[in-house]
Chains A and B, each alone.
Chain A
Amino acid sequence: MALDRKIAYINLTTGDIEIKPIPMEVRKKFLGGRGLDAYLLYNHTKKGCDPLGPDNALIISGGILCATLASATARTHVMAKSPLTGLLGSCNMGGFFSPEMAWAGFHHLVIKGKAKKPSYIYINNGKIEIRDAANIWGKTVTDAQWAIHDELNDKEVKSLVIGPAGENLVAFANVMTGVKNAGGRTGMGAVMGSKNLKAVSCRGTMDVKITHPVEALEYNKKFIEQITGAKVSQTQGTLGTPFIWGATNSWGGVRTENFRYNQLEYADDIEPERIDEIATETMGPYHMAGCFGCQVHCRAQYKIPSGKYKGKYDEGPEYTSQGAFGAEVGCRSAETVLAGNHLVDQLGMDNLETGSIISWAMECFEEGLITKDQTDGIDLRFGNDEAVLEMIERICYRKGWLGDVLAKGGIPASKDIGKNSFDYLIQVKGMNNLHSDERATPALALNIATSSRGSDHLRSRPAIDLYHLPEKVLRKIYSTPVPYDGPLSSEHTEYIGKPWQVFWQENCYMAVDSLGICKYHTTFLGATLPNFENWPKVLYLNTGIEMTPEEIWQVARRNNMIERMFNLREGATRNDPEKGDVLNHRYHDEPCKRGAIDVIGRYIIKEKFDKMVDEFYEHKGLDKNGIPKKSTLKELGLENEPSHLL
């Protein structure tokens, strides 16, 4: 059964491997996946450890429901101290890796130390082996995976790998599996690279027993119907996430030319319909693919239709690539979006951070903060398609002065570039924002400012806030499983009630990340999708664990608190411009120039924003400085951390 999956501690310096069961007490306290990872990270690293040193703990996991019948239980989580931010490093990906890891006997791996030479870890039905990666090092993301297939003579092996960017310790290198499934954020690929670890490969045929198989099958059918019955899931299954970009750009919520504008005009060539047309032309009418067990199938397949990379196969692009290699860098070409997406997939670097840091460098170039000498003659202006693709490779291989500087990540790069370049950097806690512009949406602004891993939409974004749902509907969603009778507003430009929504979403997303299911299967983009009320039954039928919605909510609060405790231990404070819960000054000082009538002229009013943060802290049980109150820690059972239960 799911609960007999184990945890392995692997020391790459000594080669020592220790395998332990995960006690029920720990399961009930943290569930698994991201939540238990956070607990492990807090317990297995020391304050101030070097993110690229042997003492950093790289933790790889599946959720407690991984590989069970709960629809899309395919999520893999990776955690470590981040080389990009110096704070919590955390990323989550789809694909087929974590189920294979579960069938091979494991839910969590804690990897420390540094291998003497390039290595990879091979896990096969409970056995763990550290193998020589001499023939795999240097290879791109997909080539590395197929080379492992050849070496092990087994095409069913699933690998989590780094590309050249991870080997070159690019601060935002990612970890990947399959063609494009990426654990993108916070530079977990660089942590793997620093440990001389090219890949973790799994192959398993061990049963994940379902506690109540007949009922679980029937409930899963209903669960799936609830998910695929939602219009938003159907749209995602047709156009993929690009439809979100199209919708957001239409009203003016897309960061354009770094942060100059909030909408890309004349964007026909990168609109979702055009991207879909290319996918249809190159891959046929059925070009959508799914992660393990998922019926939403939001991942498109395509071949690049023209240009230098013509004919190359890839998957996606996600909406983040339309932002990263489209609006942010002021480009309007599908070819650039698809080629950029392909390059980062092959090289193993985060598309969001890559596009964002290039767009920042472009604004710095146009403002005269970076000279043409420093770019080796590249005309780094917005809209220069060739320059964007060239910079991706330069960053990966740390080529030229600017390539090497940008590979360090935004804040270190701003110190090298100097002058007032930091003012232009759209980051929170050292991680750049995705392509969205939150100046007209206070709830979303609060979300990126307070997210545990830096500027990010997948940790607490109340995306349904944009739908103008009637207050009655909002109240129904946001007052379960715990009561809430404070204010709520259907208006997305409002400030009232938003802190509760962000707090609620933070717990909802932590719950799915700990259960190991996909955010597209909960209250993220669709208001009718499953959440706290549905999970106890899924959990019970699949694993036998009995928990109430309120108990799952408490686990989520606890897990979120540990992430905050980790950041606080690493020196985060509320108002620190580099590590705090604050926005770039431009959110407050530069009004939106484009978009819908109720968006133009909007900016985040600093006083109101500060009040939202105060209120958010209150909901979480923090004091005015963002530090957990003693009573909160006691309520969550975290007063004795690190407690070394595992």
Chain B
Amino acid sequence: MQSNSKVLLINHEKCTGCRLCEQVCAVRHHGSSNPARSRIRVMKWEMEGLYVPVSCQQCQDAPCLNGCPVGAISRNEELNRVEVNYDVCIGCRTCVSVCPFGAMHYNAIDGQVAKCDLCDGDPQCARFCDIKAIEYTDGGDVSIEKKRAAALRLSTVKKQATVLEQHTA
């Protein structure tokens, strides 16, 4: 089977802080509007206007997978995700404590760990994020846009420097 290389790309600078991603995640997975059940959460620093969505990075060398004492966490190459087998999971929350992003969520309502499963290939957070702070995109292209933005910045600075040189010469 062909493996999927798509990833969830979060550009927090664009985030408007509306938390629709939290809502649609909870409805998709639990049929309830309830951020406490969402696998993506928007962290906010309100006096700085800073909003940062946090979700699972589907790490290649995932600490949650490595740390799980019963081997309940595995990598699904087809969907390019790290997933939990709830038949095996003992609910010890080791994965929660070792995740460097706080993205392994513990849902206190059901007493279960929960993480992003990319909605089996159609992540609702990305689908509903109109401003595209969250996108579902090919992993290989993730840095291309950043490269382009950095290149533009560099070339602009270069042009300005040339103008300045001519001006001061």
A residues at B contact (CB < 8 Å)? 67-69, 96, 99, 103, 142, 146, 178-179, 205-210, 213, 216-217, 220-221, 224, 228, 283-295, 297, 301, 313, 315
- In this assembly, does B30 line the interface, its C-beta being within 8 Å of a C-beta of chain A? yes
Closest 9 A/B residue pairs (Cβ): A290-B18, A205-B36, A207-B32, A301-B49, A213-B31, A290-B16, A295-B130, A297-B16, A208-B33
Residues on A with C-beta less than 8 A from B49 are: 283, 287, 289, 301, 313, 315
Q: Which of B17, B30, B34, B127 contacts A206 (CB 8 A)?
A: B34
A297 touches B131 (CB 8 A): yes
Q: What separation, in Å, do the CA atoms of A284 and B31 have in the docked complex?
A: 37
Q: Which residue of B lies closest to A213 (CB)?
A: B31
Min distance, Cβ B73 to any Cβ of chain A, angstroms: 25
Q: Is the CB of A293 within 8 A of B14?
A: no
Residue of A whose beta carbon sits closest to that of B133:
A286
The answer to whether residues A210 and B27 also contact, given A103-B36, A286-B13 and a CB cut-off of 8 A, is yes
Q: Which of B15, B24, B30 has the most CB of A within 10 A?
A: B24
Contact of B32 with A69 in the complex, beta carbons under 8 Å: no
A173 to B85, CA, bound (A): 54
Residue of chain B at shortest CB distance from A155? B44
Complex Cα distance, B48 from A96, in Å, reads 17
17 contacts between A and B (CB under 8 A): A103-B35, A103-B36, A207-B30, A207-B32, A207-B34, A209-B32, A210-B32, A213-B32, A217-B24, A217-B124, A221-B128, A286-B14, A286-B131, A287-B49, A289-B49, A292-B18, A294-B20
CA distance A287 to B15 in the complex (A): 9
Task: Contact check, B109 vs A289: say whether CB atoms are below 8 A apart.
Answer: no
Contacts of B108 in A (CB 8 A): 205
| Total of A-B residue pairs, C-beta within 8 Å | 97
Bound: A213/B15 CA distance, A: 25
Is B81 at the interface (CB under 8 A from chain A)? no
CB-defined contacts of A315 to chain B, threshold 8 Å? 49
Known: A69-B24, A292-B23. 4 other contacts (CB 8 A): A96-B19, A205-B36, A287-B49, A289-B51
Residues of chain B from 120 to 156 with CB closer than 8 A to chain A in the complex: 124, 127-128, 130-131
In the complex, what's the smallest C-beta–C-beta distance from B110 to chain A, in angstroms?
Answer: 11
Residues in B with CB closer than 8 Å to A206 are: 34
Across-interface contacts of A146 in B (CB, < 8 A): 47
Is B37 in contact with chain A by the CB < 8 A criterion? Answer: yes
Q: Which residue from A68, A288, A291, A297 sits with its C-beta under 8 Å from B33? A: A68
From residue A144, how far is it (CB to closest CB) to chain B in Å?
13
Which residue on chain A has the smallest CB distance to residue B36?
A205
Docked CA distance A612–B44 (Å): 49
Specify which of B16, B17, B33, B127 lies most central, judged by the most chain A CB atoms within 10 Å of its CB.
Answer: B33
Partner of A217, one of B17, B18, B27, B130: B27
A161 to B55, CA, bound (A): 31
Q: For A209, what are the chain B residues with a Cβ–Cβ distance below 8 Å?
A: 31-32
B159 in the interface (beta carbon within 8 A): no
CB within 8 Å for A313 and B47 given contacts A206-B34, A210-B31: yes
User: Are B47 and A103 in contact, CB atoms less than 8 angstroms apart?
Assistant: no
When distances are taken between beta carbons in the complex, the residues of chain B under 8 Å from A284 are 13
Q: Which A residue sits closest to B127, measured CB to CB?
A: A221
Is B46 in contact with chain A by the CB < 8 A criterion? yes
Determine the distance from Cα of A96 to Cα of B22 in the docked complex, in whole angstroms: 13
Docked Cα-Cα span, A69 to B31, in Å, equals 11
Chain B residues, CB < 8 A from A287: 49
- Structural contact, A289 and B17, CB atoms closer than 8 A: yes
The answer to whether B32 and A297 have CB atoms under 8 Å apart is no
Contact A293 B32 (CB under 8 A): no
- A220: which B residues are within 8 A, CB to CB? 24, 128
Tell me if B28 is interfacial: C-beta within 8 Å of chain A: yes
A518 to chain B minimum Cβ distance, whole angstroms, is 12
Looking at the assembled complex, report how far the CB atom of A283 sits from the nearest CB atom of chain B, in whole angstroms: 6
B residues in contact with A210, CB < 8 Å: 27, 31-33
Considering the complex, give the chain B residue whose CB is closest to the CB of A100.
B35
Q: Are A295 and B20 in contact (CB under 8 A)?
A: yes
Cβ < 8 Å to A, chain B residues 25-83 = 27-28, 30-37, 46-49, 51
Instruction: Tell me the residues in window 65-106 of chain B with beta carbons closer than 8 Å to chain A beta carbons.
Output: none
Closest chain A CB from B49 CB (angstroms): 4
Q: Are B46 and A179 in contact (CB under 8 A)?
A: yes
Residue of A nearest to B28 (CB): A217
Interface centre among A285, A295, A315 (most CB of B within 10 A): A295
Judge whether A69 and B13 touch: CB under 8 Å: no
Cβ–Cβ contact B19 & A289, under 8 A:
no
Contacts of B46 in A (CB 8 A): 142, 178-179
Max chain B Cβ within 10 angstroms of own Cβ: one of A206, A210, A288, A291:
A210
**How far in angstroms is the closest Cβ of chain B from A304?**
13
Which residue of the partner chain B has the closest CB to A225? B130
* Nearest-CB residue, chain B, relative to A300: B49
Measured between alpha carbons, how far is A207 from B33 in the docked complex, in Å? 6
**B130–A288 CB distance below 8 A:** no
- CB pair A69–B130 under 8 Å, yes or no, is no
- Complex: A207 Cα to B36 Cα, angstroms: 9
Contacts of A313 in B (CB 8 A): 47-49
Report the separation of the CA atoms of residues A220 and B20 in the bound assembly, to the nearest whole angstrom: 11
Using A224-B128, A287-B49, A289-B17 as known contacts, say yes or no to A103 and B27 having CB atoms under 8 A apart.
no
